[in-house]
Amino acid sequence: MFYLTLAIICSASIALIFKCTENSNANRYVITSANYFIAVVISLFMIFSRRLLTGITRELSFAKDFSLLSSINDHMLSPYSSILWGLIIGGIFGCFFFLSFVYYQKSIKENGVGISGTFAKLGILIPMIFSIVIWKEFPSSIQWVGIGLSLVSILIVNLSQKSLEKFDIKPTLIFLFFFGGMAEFSSKIYQKYALNEYKDVFLFALFFVAFLLSIFYTFREKGIITKKDILTGFAVGIPNLFSSYFLILSLATLKTSVVFPIYSAGSIVLINIGGILIFKEKITKKNQVAIVLTVVALVLINV
């Protein structure tokens, strides 16, 4: 629970720092690039300071080691295979991390920090769905009620008289929900099979791929690069890295069905408290209902 609490604080900090740049003409790609750069540097430092790559021997091929996962219960990949698994999963899911960050910033500017943080954490439904499909982790009856309530909250935010007439949904929130959920799923799929000792390699691959994508879009857009945007990115990068770091540590000792709901609900509460107290953000009644429903839903999912 200590690691989970730290992950919640780091996660909420990301949204609140983004809120500080809402009214400025910030270059979101520069902020994202700086964020991932500092995350790459820190993860590299942890890899070499802990000497994770020294003394690694190939006991058996990765393909053979991976095939044992389906035949032996509770089998974990060897150190060599864990490193390869971290590079593979980090490389694949790095693009989702990049997209979730871009849409996080975009949504906060368009919809406010409260509802954006809510939808980002509502992405927990994505790893839950994959857990059902891949690992047959079926929710209980009460958890199904929680899932239903979370879907209702999505409808409440997006449906209005205007949306019913013109089908005017909020695409930034939908994309944020999906990409954020896929980013959350990366921690689970790494931790499920690989040794926790090599999570820094996974985080390095994750943030390095996201950094490369971010740099590409930064130069393609040819926007203005300011010192303020770079420093903002550095400020975001530290809690961004450690939210994933502490989340993986908590997944090693707590059940997925406990970690993700508490992580999501706790982040939502902190983000909304920060938005109200620090930024005097006014949340519409409709969005207040959606936020409350989401928190209740996440609690039910945790039962």
pLDDT level of residue 40 (50, 70, 90 thresholds): very high
Q: Does residue 152 lie in a domain region?
A: no
Average pLDDT score over residue span 8-12: 89
d(C-alpha 230, C-alpha 162), whole Å: 39
276 belongs to a structural domain: no
Angle at 116 between CA 115 and CA 122, to 5 degrees: 85
Q: How confident is the model over 134-146, as pLDDT tens digits? A: 877 777 788 788 7
pLDDT tops 90 at residue 116? no
**Of 25, 26, 19, 41, which Cα lies nearest the Cα of 230?**
26
| Cα 155 to Cα 285: distance, rounded to the nearest angstrom | 14
What is the gyration radius of the CA atoms in the chain, in angstroms? 19
DSSP symbol at 22: T
Region 244-268 average pLDDT: 76
Q: Is the pLDDT of residue 3 over 50?
A: yes
pLDDT at 218 over 80: yes
- Does 300 map to a domain? no
- Point out the least confidently predicted range of 35-39, 211-215, 296-300: 296-300
* Residue 167 pLDDT level (bands cut at 50, 70, 90): very low
At 26 the three-state DSSP class reads coil
State which of 80-84, 101-105, 295-299 shows the largest mean pLDDT. Answer: 80-84
Maximum separation of any 2 CA atoms in the chain, in Å: 64
pLDDT at 187: 81
Secondary structure of residue 140 in the 3-state scheme: coil
Nearest to 77 by CA among 87, 65, 86, 88: 65
Residue 215's Cβ-side half-sphere holds a number of Cα atoms within 13 Å equal to: 9
Token pair recorded at residue 198: 């090599």
What's the confidence (pLDDT) of residue 6? Answer: 92
Question: Is residue 87 over pLDDT 90?
Answer: yes
CB 267, CB 14: distance < 8 Å: no
In a domain, 288, yes or no: no
Percent of the chain with pLDDT over 90: 14
Q: Is residue 236 part of a domain?
A: yes
What is the average per-residue pLDDT within 211-228? Answer: 86
| Residue 256: band (very low, low, confident or very high) from pLDDT cuts 50, 70, 90 | low
Domain total of the chain = 1
Tell me whether residue 240 is in a domain: yes
Which pLDDT tens digit goes with each residue over 237-254? 888 888 878 887 887 777
Query: Computed from CA positions of residues 56, 61, 64, 70, in that sequence, does the dihedral angle turn out positive or negative?
Result: positive
pLDDT score for 236: 87
Query: Which residue type does 163 have?
Result: S
Question: What pLDDT band is residue 164 in, cutting at 50, 70 and 90?
Answer: very low
Is 227 domain-assigned? yes
Residue range(s) defining the domain that contains residue 121: 1-53+60-138+168-251
Helix pair angle (113-122, 79-111), 10° resolution: 150
What are residue 291's phi and psi, to 5 degrees? -65, -45
pTM above 0.85, yes or no: no
Chain centroid to CA 78: 26
Q: Cα–Cα distances in Å, from 194 out to 111, 176, 190, 282?
A: 38, 28, 6, 44
Q: How confident is the model at residue 163 (pLDDT cuts 50, 70, 90)?
A: very low
- Give CA–CA dist 17/30, Å, rounded: 15
Mean pLDDT of 83-89: 93
Higher pLDDT, 155 or 161: 155
Average pLDDT of every residue of the chain: 82
The Cα–Cα gap between 234 and 236 comes to 5
Closest of 150, 284, 9 to residue 276, by C-alpha: 284
Long-range contacts of residues 19-23, Cβ cutoff 8 Å, at least 24 apart: 19/108, 19/113, 19/274, 19/275, 19/278, 19/279, 19/281, 20/232, 21/105, 21/229, 21/232, 22/108, 22/109, 22/113
Q: Domain for residue 266, yes or no?
A: no
Dihedral of alpha carbons 266, 268, 274, 277, sign: negative
